[in-house]
Copies of this chain bind each other. A is one copy, B any other.
Amino acid sequence: MPSRRTFLQTTALTSVAASFSPNTLLTATRPAKDRLGVALVGLGYYSTDLLAPALQKTKNCYLAGIVTGTPEKAEKWKKQYNIPDKNIYSYQTFDQIANNPDIDVVYVVLPPSMHEEYVVRAAKAGKHVWCEKPMAVTAKECQNMIDACAKNKVSLAIGYRLQHEPNTQEWTKGLRDGKIGKILMVSCSAGYYDGRTTHWKQKKEMGGGVMYDMGVYVLQGSRLATGEEPIAVTAQQYTSRPDVYKNGLDETSMAQLIFPSGARAAVQTSYGMNMNFLNVTGSKGTLMMEPYSAYNGQTGIWSNGGKIEHPYEVPWQQTKQMDDDAQSIMTKKPMLAPGEEGLRDIKIVEAIYQAARTGKEVKIV
CA distance A275 to B282 in the complex (A): 9
A256 to B290, CA, bound (A): 22
The number of chain A residues with a CB under 8 A from chain B is 33
Task: Tell me, yes or no, whether A200 is within 8 Å of chain B by CB.
Answer: no
A254 within 8 A of B: yes
- Contact check, A264 vs B252: say whether CB atoms are below 8 A apart: yes
Question: B189 contacts A272, CB within 8 Å?
Answer: no
B288 to A184, Cβ gap below 8 A?
no
A293 to chain B, nearest CB (A): 15
- A270: interface (CB < 8 Å): yes
Given A236-B234, A254-B256: A274 and B266 interface contact (C-beta under 8 Å): no
**A268 contacts across to B, CB distance below 8 A:** 185, 187, 264, 266
- A254 to B268 CA separation, bound complex (whole angstroms): 13
Name the contact of A254 in the complex, choosing from B184, B240, B264 (C-beta under 8 A): B264
Judge whether A58 is part of the interface by a CB distance below 8 angstroms: no
Judging by beta carbons under 8 Å apart, are B281 and A288 in contact? Answer: no
For the complex, give the distance between the alpha carbons of A275 and B279 in Å: 9
Contact with B along A172-203 (1 / 0, CB 8 A): 00000000000011010101010000000000
Which residues of the partner chain B approach A272 to less than 8 Å between Cβ atoms? 184
**A286 at the B interface (CB under 8 A):** yes
Q: Does A84 contact B (CB under 8 A)?
A: no
What does DSSP make chain A's interface, helix, strand, loop or mixed? strand
Q: Closest B-chain residue to A266, C-beta based?
A: B266
Partner of A184, one of B184, B236, B262, B273: B273
Residue pair A270, B361 in contact (C-beta under 8 Å):
no
Give the Cβ gap from A252 to chain B, nearest Cβ, in Å. 7
Contact for A274 among B189, B279, B286, B288, CB less than 8 A = B286
Report the minimal beta-carbon distance from A235 to chain B, rounded to whole angstroms: 9
Q: List 7 A-B contacts (CB under 8 A).
A: A185-B252, A185-B268, A234-B236, A266-B266, A274-B281, A275-B286, A359-B361
**In the complex, which of the residues A193, A236, A238, A283 has the most CB atoms of chain B within 10 Å of its own CB atom?**
A236
A360 proximal to B (CB < 8 A): yes
Complex contact A266–B288 (CB within 8 A): no
Known: A254-B266, A262-B240. A277 touches B274 (CB 8 A): no
Q: Is B238 touching A262 in the complex (CB atoms < 8 A)? A: yes
A273 contacts B277, C-beta separation under 8 Å: no
Inter-chain contacts of A270 with B (CB < 8 A): 184-185
Point out the residues of chain B lying under 8 angstroms from A288, CB to CB.
277, 290
> Which parts of A242-260 form the interface with B (CB within 8 Å)?
252, 254, 256
- One of B240, B281, B361 near A273 (C-beta < 8 A): B281
